[in-house]
Amino acid sequence: MTLENLANELLLDLFEYFRAVEVLRSFYGLNSRLNELISKHFLKHRLDFHRSPKKDFDLICQVYLPEICENILSIDLSDDDDIPGEIDLFLSYGWTLDRFANLRSVTFTNIRYGENICDILSQCQQIIHLNLTACYFGYSVRNIWNSIWALPNLIYCFLSLVFKDDYYLSIPNQCSTSIKHLTIIGISFQIGPLQAFCERTPQLEYLSVDLSPRSISESIQTPIESISKLNISIIDVQSNTIENLLQHTPNLIELKIDSCYPDLNGYEWENLIRNYLPKLEQFQLKMKFQMFNPNQRDQLLKSFQTPFWIKERQWFIQFHFNLDDKSNMIYLYTLPFSFTNFDLYFPLQIQTTYPNDDCYEQVQRLSYRCSLQTEEIITTNFQFSNVTHLNVTLPFNQNLILLTEKLLQLTSLDVSKPKNMSSHHSFDQLQKLIDSTNCLESLKFSSWSESDMLTPIALRTREISRVHLRGYDHYFTDEDCFRLSQSSLGKSCRILFIKVQTRSNIIELINSLPNLQSLICQSKDDYWQFNITAMKDPFIQWLNENLNKHNCSIKRDLRYKHSIRIWIDI
């Protein structure tokens, strides 16, 4: 059977197994029927260039995009490390977002500095969804709030922002009557600005923010009645601030709190809910705090065993701790677990009010460490079926292996080690951990010493495409680069983070790593200074001259100035 004999429904299902770039590159232009189906495909799926070689990006912007731009409903533009400089290249081809007549959703990921973001947002008058994910801004975007709040049709807004300095949160002059769903990450709100933001967003129904400890002396004065769903992260905020906030959000149906202090017990939470939240139906809680006395732990459990928790609401909690942990930290959370991050420090002690098997389907990022002296196997019912990222501090024991047998979705691994751990032992453990995974794509070395240099070169790996070696206290030499190019890790690598001795090592890596698409590097002989402009950067000029045949996009990172970002045309 030929491809053309497949029903339209089967072809559309087939397209879903490919990235957007692969759909266009593989099927567009074969015949008019496939072209129509591809246009229909993009009515439901976003266009993004994630992990694309530069030549594919160039081809789509120049050839395919003019034919399908009116059918694009969602687009993702990024300056991420696997496609560095993508947004600048996109704009250099003359593309503006107002040319996408039916565009409804825009995502910007890992913007560096973002001087032109307000101009780009002005082209998005028709969008309903806006996502700014892990974006870094400097001084020139103080009016970003007005640019967003001026979008007349915006309903869903997700903002994950980092600013150059300690940023003072300005209040939008605009009043948005359309935004209903708002998430802001990376900026800690004081109570005063939080109330002002809500006043500028009168239709707001869902709010997710970080609450600042600087809000101790402030309070909300008038009720925020529009919000029915509230998700807050708080660090070291006093209980009276939490009480003031809940007192002025009387229409909450769902409340989710992730906190590091205060240590409110079950009796205190019960009083807050009874007194201020008569409509509350769903309560999700995660708290991290210190508790020194074992009797206090028993009393803590008891406070969540009242009829209010067990019978009336059927809200259950669990907490775990490590007796070897000198900080005496307690991790308390409601079950089923509803947060994306989870921390484990073995050996665990667990106390719970939950009558069923533990459920952790929402966990995507898992952090693991264990006491150096323990070999005890702890039997738990943890089920981390959807974890994609694992952060491990070596050494580990059999508890982690038991957990990783259930980590079928794991794609990213970040490994740290203490200085007193031998290279041989750390290598054996890391190899064992990698062997227990099935679909690992990213490997990051954090806090590794120069004496462990043989570890990444000697590892036996499947196709790990993203390798982060800048966690080594070492600049790779000519010999190191050659040995890396001969290793299984180097041969499969598509995105490489590395520190090198000389600029010639950069040329060597690009020439010797067959699948390399993106190189994020720092060279010891790069003597960049603050008075050097992009037009007169001798290091970038040298790279352009010596990589001319590769048609690379070469940029200095506007956030980390000694980092060079190269997108390779392969």
For 104-153, write each residue's pLDDT tens digit: 999 999 887 666 888 899 999 999 999 999 888 765 555 788 999 999 99
Tens digit of pLDDT for each residue in 318-340?
Answer: 999 988 888 889 999 999 999 99
pLDDT band at 380; cut points 50, 70, 90: low
CB 339 within 8 A of CB 361: no
**pLDDT higher than 70, residue 421:** yes
Q: Report if pTM > 0.85.
A: yes
**Predicted local confidence at residue 370, as pLDDT:** 85
Percent pLDDT > 70 in the chain is 93
**Predicted local confidence at residue 187, as pLDDT:** 84
Q: What is the DSSP string of 349-372?
A: EEEE---S----TT--EEEEEE-T
Say how far apart CA 117 and CA 145 lie, in whole Å: 11
CB 467 within 8 A of CB 82: no
Task: Give Cβ neighbours of residue 505 (< 8 Å, ≥ 6 apart).
Answer: 476, 477, 478, 481, 523
Q: 332 burial class (0-12, 13-18, 19+ CB within 10 angstroms)?
A: buried
- Residue length, the chain? 570
**pLDDT higher than 70, residue 181:** yes
**Predicted local confidence at residue 139, as pLDDT:** 56
**97 or 293: which leads in pLDDT:** 97
**pLDDT higher than 80, residue 393:** yes
Q: What is the DSSP letter of 312?
A: I
Name which of 9-13, 184-188, 368-372, 490-494 the model is least confident about. Answer: 368-372
**pLDDT higher than 90, residue 371:** no
pLDDT band at 83; cut points 50, 70, 90: confident
Arithmetic mean of pLDDT, 261-272: 91
**pLDDT higher than 60, residue 373:** no
